[in-house]
Amino acid sequence: MQKLEYEKITIYEVESLHKELLEWSHNTQELELDMTNIQKVDFAGVQLLLSAHKSVKLNMHNVSNNVRKSFEFAGADSWLNGDTND
């Protein structure tokens, strides 16, 4: 399980997160992400996470309500897996 230290995933964080995701998804079929710290995700963030989901099976844990809403706005909530801890 990789715990994300970012507070949010927006256009400003996606470049560095992309590098990390590439590293973590190397040689693996499934990736667990702990999203406890993430308060907010924007369109660029949703898109990045969806790209990750295309490369490996992405399981997101402890997704905050706010982040969940963002996925909903983008019409991508069906990709949300894992628990939601409110």
Partner 1 sequence: MTEELQLFLEDSAEQLTYMENALLSMQESGINEEDVGALFRSMHTIKGTAGMFGFDDVVGFAHIAENLLSEVRSQKVELTPDMIQLFLLCKDHTEHLIDAAVDQTPIDDFTRETNQELLEQLLNFMPGNKSVIKNEDGTENIVRTVSEKKLWHLSIEPHSDFFNSGMDILNILNFLEVMGTITKKKSYTDPIPKLENYNPVEAYMGIELQIESESSHVEIEDVFEFILSDIALMIIDTQDKEGLVDWVESIPHKESKVKFLIENGFFTKGDFITVDPVNETISLEELKPIEETVLEEPQISNVEDPKISTKKEIQKSFSLRVDSSKIDQLINQISEMVIANAKIAQRADMIDDNDLSEATTVMSEMLESVRSSVMNIRMVQVGDTFAKFKRIVNDTAKKLGKDIEFTINGGETELDKMVVEKISDPIMHMLRNSIDHGIEMPHERVAAGKPANGKVTLSAYPDAGTIVIKIVDDGKGLDRDRILAKSIANGIVSPNHNLSDKEIFNLIFAAGLSTAEQVSDISGRGVGMDVVKRNIEELRGTVEIDSSKGAGSTFTIRLPLTLAIIDGFLVQSGDTKYIIPLEMIQECIELSAAYKKQMKGNDFINLRDSILPLLDIRDYFKESENKSSRENVVVLRYGDYRMGLQVDELYGEFQTVIKPLGEVFGNVTGVSGGTVLGSGEIALIFDIPKLMEYQIRNN
Mask of contacts with partner 1, 36-55, x by CB under 8 A? ------xxx-xxx-xxx-xx
Q: What token pair was written down for 20?
A: 């990390």
Q: For residue 19, what are the contacts with CB-CB under 8 A and spacing of at least 6? A: none
Task: Kindly state the smallest distance separating residue 28's Cβ from partner 1, in Å.
Answer: 12
Q: Does 4 bind partner 1 (CB under 8 A)?
A: no
Q: What token pair was written down for 16?
A: 């560095």
Specify whether the CB–CB gap between 9 and 38 falls below 8 A. Answer: yes
Chain residues in the site for partner 1 (CB under 8 A): 10-11, 14-15, 17-18, 21-22, 25, 42-44, 46-48, 50-52, 54-55, 70, 73-76, 78
